């Protein structure tokens, strides 16, 4: 294990080859999120968005030494008592994650609970580990969940499964989640790293400008903020780009395109 993960810490950011990897790093506490961790995540998000070289973000967790892998046990309940924190502050994290410029992938390498489930849903794509569990215990704790989290659940799960999640607080199996289309892939521990890497490489091979502008448009459509003029503007921007010219030339010449992001 890298020395960066030898001791528990706030989430760790590593950037290499156009990929920013964010790792939750409190394995002994089942990677629960403390208020300091949330602040660190917001700082990392800002750095990622400022770096034009970053095209993919991978969110994962250190599960070393855990009897059963847990990606995140959710928000530390003690944080609700800290002034200026609690649910309203927590909501900023998945909302900011959902708006990141690069494509985001959750490498869900363990079970996930509570508010952390919304962090997973805020990512664009997900790779899941077979055998994990997913549970939303908000109503079991007496909590009405925050609005954007409920909206994301309905968008990703559908209304029926969202009602099951919140109105029963029963867990979902990985197979149930996969049947709802939540994962790009649901794989065994032995295949997890290779499956994730393959997905990252496929995304890195796409035209950066078209990818970035398309993500913006999809996020706006999901939020019900459709501006046809803005969508047309992005469409025209991509169609006039050097990348589109290169993509057409590469297709005609039966070779891999070399995109430059403009």
Tell me the per-residue pLDDT of 89-121, one tens digit each, with 9 for 90 and over. 899 999 999 999 999 999 999 999 999 999 999
Contacts 24+ apart (CB under 8 A), 86-90: 87/115, 87/143, 87/145, 87/146, 88/146, 89/35, 89/38, 90/33, 90/38, 90/115, 90/146
Distance CA 93, CA 79 (A): 14
CA angle 38, 42, 44 (to 5 degrees): 115
The dihedral over CA atoms of 96, 100, 105, 107, expressed in degrees to the nearest 10, equals -40
Question: What pLDDT shows up at residue 5?
Answer: 74
pLDDT in tens, 192-231: 999 999 999 999 999 999 999 999 999 999 988 999 999 9
Question: What pLDDT shows up at residue 10?
Answer: 92
Question: What pLDDT shows up at residue 8?
Answer: 87
Q: pTM for this structure?
A: 0.93
Q: Which residues of the chain have pLDDT under 50?
A: 1
Question: What pLDDT shows up at residue 82?
Answer: 61
The secondary structure of residue 75, as a DSSP letter, is B
Question: What pLDDT shows up at residue 223?
Answer: 87
**Is the separation of the CB atoms in 123 and 117 below 8 Å?**
no
């Amino acid at each position: 294990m890298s020395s960066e993960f030898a001791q528990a810490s706030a989430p760790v950011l590593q950037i290499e080859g156009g990929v920013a990897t964010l790792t939750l790093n409190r394995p002994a506490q089942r990677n629960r999120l403390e208020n300091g961790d949330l602040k660190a995540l917001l700082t990392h998000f800002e750095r990622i968005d400022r770096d034009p070289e970053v095209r993919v973000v991978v969110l994962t967790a250190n599960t070393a030494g855990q009897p059963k892998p847990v990606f995140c046990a959710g928000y530390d309940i003690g944080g609700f008592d800290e002034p200026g924190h609690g649910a309203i502050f927590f909501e900023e994290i998945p909302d900011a994650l959902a708006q990141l410029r690069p494509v985001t992938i959750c490498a869900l390498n363990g079970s996930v609970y509570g508010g952390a489930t919304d962090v997973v849903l805020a990512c664009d794509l997900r790779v899941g580990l077979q055998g994990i569990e997913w549970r939303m215990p908000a109503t079991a704790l007496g909590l009405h969940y925050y609005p954007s989290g409920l909206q994301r659940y309905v968008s990703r799960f559908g209304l029926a499964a969202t009602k099951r999640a919140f109105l029963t607080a029963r867990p979902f199996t990985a197979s149930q989640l996969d049947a709802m289309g939540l994962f790009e892939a649901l794989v065994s521990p032995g295949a997890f790293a290779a499956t994730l890497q393959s997905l990252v490489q496929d995304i890195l091979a796409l035209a950066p400008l078209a990818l970035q502008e398309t993500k913006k448009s999809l996020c706006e459509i999901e939020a019900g903020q459709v501006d046809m003029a803005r969508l047309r503007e992005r469409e025209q921007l991509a169609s006039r780009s050097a990348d589109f010219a290169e993509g057409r030339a590469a297709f005609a010449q039966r070779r891999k395109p070399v995109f430059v992001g403009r």
